[in-house]
Structure 1
Amino acid sequence: MRLTVIGSGYVGLVAATCFAETGNQVSVVDIDAGRVERLTAGELTIYEPGLGELLRSNLASGRLRFTTEAAVAVPGAEAVFLCVGTPMGVDGAADLSAVEAAARSIGRHLDAWTVVVGKSTVPVGTAARVRGWVQAELDRRGAATGFAVVSNPEFLKEGAAVEDFLRPDRVVLGVDDPRAEQILRDLYAAFVRNGQRIYVMDPRSAEMTKYAANGLLATKISYINEIAAICERVGADVAQVRQGVGADIACRPAADAVGCHELLARQRCASGATIAKAQIGFVVAVALRHELGLEAVAVEQIAHRRPCSRRAGKRDCGQRRQRGRVHAGVGGRSRVEGRNKRNASPRQRRSIAARILYG
């Protein structure tokens, strides 16, 4: 299948490389000429285990290429994936300016029926807006080219993104066009061979599924940190507690599916505040926009519930120093194995750094 991916950031690069790995012809569009040059030379612009080898092998096979020109990559594509950034704005809502620019570039160059697939994390209702942006450009050209818009959110964990993409827990398709659904089922058949992990729903439900999953992850991190604080007071071992809870089949999906506890184990002192606020912020913005004030306040509280424990930070740091290892780093930022993202934590600065420097 001939595919185009707009955006060569974390999601776009992983998706494009993995699609090429299963035999598809993939063109990646990015406005950053320097990044395109580096990727064309086989140089990764992000760190992700296993991605470099796949990138270079698919470049060598000719199945993967990079360009700055949408006019070259969009025509003839059976599906075009939007994988551009949607940073949080000052009001907490997602900034869709890059999504709009990408959608309009598709409309300017579309020459045959195609599926426009949104993989970026976007507000509910964005698929309809993408449809409007593409159609506006087609109307400006006087073109009668047809297309469908699908929401296909990503669920990748940094440090395991290649594995997550090649062997996904689930594939969510928000689609209202039978032809588009079949094209994406055929595309993902190589990753979900029995077809039982493909969930088809309407676009708005697919977009909300991504927000809900992010919110659940934030909730789980905050909750286990609450339990960790209680364990400290009563002399219990939180690692053993979470194993016991996760062994219950009724609790396992909520306890272990997203890998929250493994994240906690590796990033105990820094994970909560930064991750929870980032994950839950979009959900709160949506709730407030729809005048769900009380519900928004309740959801927002999740992000601020004991993101980390100062005493746990001191204790964990002391134990690691006694073992001759220092896991955390400098200036209140902690690095997690398999990831190149560092998360800021004010409490880490106040407690762990003081413990390291002054004992």
Structure 2
Amino acid sequence: MSRPTRGRGGRSRVPVVARAGALGLSGALALAALAALGCAASLTEPTQLIRPRLLGTRVSVQGDPTRATPAPGEKADVTWHVGFPGARQPMGWFFLACRTVNLGVPVCADAPFAVVEHRDPSIEDPTYTLALPPASDFGANDTHVLLLGAVCFGGAPPAVDEVLAGLEAGTPLSALGCEDPRNEGQFASYRLLLANADEAGEPGGGVNHNPSIARVAVDGELWESDADPTAPVSGCVGSGVRELSASAAPQRLQVFVSSSDFEPFIGEDIEGVRGRRLEQLQVSWTVTAGALQRPFSFLEGATFASQDWTLPPAAAVPPGGLLVRFEMVVRDSDERAPRGGTDWVSRALCLVR
């Protein structure tokens, strides 16, 4: 595998290695098990970030980074955002890309056309560049590409060749775990919407763009402070993170977007009627301590979402302060499913006695 290269923003960008014919048909169908696991872990309280978790996927087309829908033959940068309850842990990961069927559970329609692996764990979000095959490799009804993979927290993933061979042989995914004693990781799947050249003259132009979080606020004030990604949960006093009394009343959190984030497009409503539509936005909220009112907020034209956060008991705050991390993710969608545009922001507060 090629060594990671440094890209925009100081993140690792791992070149994708094409693996034509890496899986036979039986192996491609076996990837259905990977897809069925989905991107989100089973959670009893979705707002609580009590273990590492994949929170969002962002695709940015090279040369047009606000666009989330690449066309066949284009390259796109893919980032999987991971939230941690404390200091970030080194992560190893692998991802596959394949053509997919458009109905039912997302599965690979044939062998993956690209594979990427990162076996040298780092704390950065998994990020890589994906090169899509030319239009001649896609069928007339292909609307999406399927991205599948796994992230291992605290260790390296199994070698991709081992994963492919195991799936080809029908080996249970549980036997292809992470290479660390805790075997702690998460499988992921993402349906990447492709640009539709047939809709170039229609509203939206057959493409979709990522929404952009304009700003966030806490208790009515602009909130810009985040914590060092390696900072521990305790001892945040004087670190530069916004400080708040542990006995404070519940805080109103707000996420602001722009009116331009609600893009027009041609699509179907919940009754299957096709026509001009306007995107909706979904805001997901997670926090490492305290309690939020709800895991999601939905915007239909409104340019901000808000909810209250209740602080944890003051007795739980150590003398040096308690670092609380917040993750807010914005996704665009129609009435039926996500459209693929994503943005996120991380913030932190230091609770003091």
Q: TM-score, normalised by structure 2?
A: 0.26
Greater share of helix: 1
* Structure number with larger C-alpha Rg: 1
TM-score (norm 1): 0.26
Specify which structure has the bigger relative contact order, considering alpha-carbon pairs within 8 angstroms and separated by 6 or more residues. Answer: 2
Q: Which has the higher strand share?
A: 2
